[in-house]
Structure 1
Amino acid sequence: MSTAYTIVTVAAALWVGFSAASVFLRARWVVEPLADYGVPRSWWPWLGVAKAAGAAGLLVGLAVPVIGVLAGVGLVLYFTGAVVTVLRARSYSHVPFPLLYLAPVVGAMALGFAA
């Protein structure tokens, strides 16, 4: 396991965990766009749980690689779905936000596969 992989994975997990906490705490800058995109309020806790589970899975993946891969795949699918949701809502200026969370996850997975 390389140092770069460990650093990027921990950073990605912290970043995604921050995103999960933002949903749980109903940070205005997170939930207002969700409402604007048409995401039902009843989904918000589950979206936070999915992000939190993915963040935890990335960290567990440092010890159990298959868990990290599964968490990474799940997060890639999650944030790809977020990009699609933003595009369907025609909020094109918001597309970079889910990409900012997707990029470190993809980076961690790429470094993991390269090791």
Structure 2
Amino acid sequence: MHAAHITLTIVAAFLAASASVTYLIGHDYPKAQLRMKRLPLSWMPRLGAVLAAGAAGLLAGFAVPLVGVLAAAGLFLYFAAALVAHLRVGSRDLIGWAVFFTTMTADLIITVLHTW
């Protein structure tokens, strides 16, 4: 289980960091997503920072396991809220969301099991 924990955490951190970069550089895809969800574009840097903090927290969890658990829980909640934002506007384009949410959920579960 140790190898699975390391692998899944690195994959989850990579996904969160990649998404963070797209928000922080002002890429067109997150802008389109925010417009579609009727959210202000001024949220882009904040959402990018949350994703970056989550990615860093996942990696910091290797040294301080509680930090990893909290980061995994935070990213799980972030993507749960993203689902609510999608459904609120009637969006059914959830493939990208499902990849992120499934990865973050699996990482949360395996991190909790590995920590306790």
Using structure 2 for the length normalisation, give the TM-score.
Answer: 0.91
The answer as to 2:104 corresponding to 1:113 is no
Count of residues in correspondence between the two structures: 114
Question: Shift of residue 114 of structure 1?
Answer: 2.7
The answer as to 2:98 corresponding to 1:99 is yes
Structure 1 residues 1-20: aligned runs within 5 Å: 2-20=2-20
Question: Shift of residue 113 of structure 1?
Answer: 2.6
Which position in structure 1 is the counterpart of 2:44? 44
Structure 2: runs of 5+ lacking an equivalent: none
Question: Shift of residue 108 of structure 1?
Answer: 1.5
1:24-57 Cα offsets, whole Å, 9 max, x none, are 1222122112112111111111011000000100
Mapped partners of 1:109, 1:16: distance in 2: 13
Any conservation in 1 of the 2:12–2:104 contact (CA below 8 Å)? yes
Residue 31 of structure 1 aligns to a residue whose secondary structure is helix
1:54-101 Cα offsets, whole Å, 9 max, x none, are 010000011111001111111111110001001111111x22222211
Using structure 1 for the length normalisation, give the TM-score.
Answer: 0.92
Any conservation in 2 of the 1:87–1:95 contact (CA below 8 Å)? no
Indicate the RMSD between aligned Cα atoms, in angstroms: 1.3
Structure 1 runs (4+) greater than 6 angstroms displaced:
none
Any conservation in 2 of the 1:20–1:51 contact (CA below 8 Å)? yes
% identical equivalent positions: 33
